[in-house]
Amino acid sequence: MSEWVKLTAADGVELQGYVARPAHEPKGALVVVQEIFGVNAQVQHDADQWAADGFLCIAPAMFDRIEPGVNLGYDEAGWSEAMSFVPKLDMDKATLDVNAAVQWLRSQTSSNVGVVGYCFGGTMAWLSSTRLKVEAAVGYYGGNIVSFVTEIPQGPIMLHIGKRDSHIPAEAIAKIQTAHPEVPIFLYDDAGHAFNRSLDPKSYVADAARLAKSRSLLFFEQHLIF
């Protein structure tokens, strides 16, 4: 079951959130953070899949501060518009938006709360772990994590990166590994950027996506379930 709800960040900004509910009592709760394409069909699909795994999920519309209702595809026009949002992003304010989603989940369930994010959302998963009170986080191919490598995770976090990801050079991965040897970073040999993007056949790598999901699911079950 899915619906849209209104969130209010700590600075008073309002944004929408896509909610996906599990069929039964949630075993945990997750904020699902988008790529740079808005809360599009892929993000909604990911939230629905996590809900099918038993988690209460919400995907905050992270671009509502810039332009409400962003929902882009992966064609040339979608890419062009998505890239126009990148220089307008404020990571501090984006963290407030993730926290609004975290607090909404805490108002709905007594379950522990985690964050999972993809691309831009992968970086936000890292910042959620270093700046917010969440019980666990998983970041998929967060290309800007290296810019925040001096920040210290406050709880368990796992990272997934494709070895063929042109957005995340080997030097960046090594820098994260050196600074945080305690953080598991899984590398996928035949995967490039956005390998979990199942609705985009140009990016999707099924084997890597399945393995990353199984690892993430086990990780969240270890850290979110009482």
Tokens for 65, please give them: 């501060």
The CATH number of whichever domain residue 99 belongs to comes to 3.40.50.1820
pLDDT of residue 1: 78
- The per-residue pLDDT of the chain, averaged, comes to 97
Position 221 pLDDT exceeds 90: yes
Mean pLDDT of all residues in 154-168: 97
Position 226 pLDDT exceeds 80: no
The whole domain housing 205 covers: 2-224
Contact between 157 and 126 (Cβ < 8 Å): yes
Mean pLDDT of all residues in 182-208: 97
Query: How would residue 47 be classed by pLDDT, with cut points 50, 70 and 90?
Result: very high
pLDDT of residue 119: 98
For 100-148, the pLDDT digits (tens) are 999 999 999 999 999 999 999 999 999 999 999 999 999 999 999 999 9
- Among residues 142, 164, 160, which one has the least CA distance to residue 151? 142
What percent of the chain has a predicted confidence (pLDDT) above 70? 100
- Counting the structural domains of the chain, the total is 1
Position 18 pLDDT exceeds 80: yes
Contact between 216 and 136 (Cβ < 8 Å): no
Q: Looking at the whole model, is its pTM more than 0.95?
A: yes
Contact between 55 and 30 (Cβ < 8 Å): yes
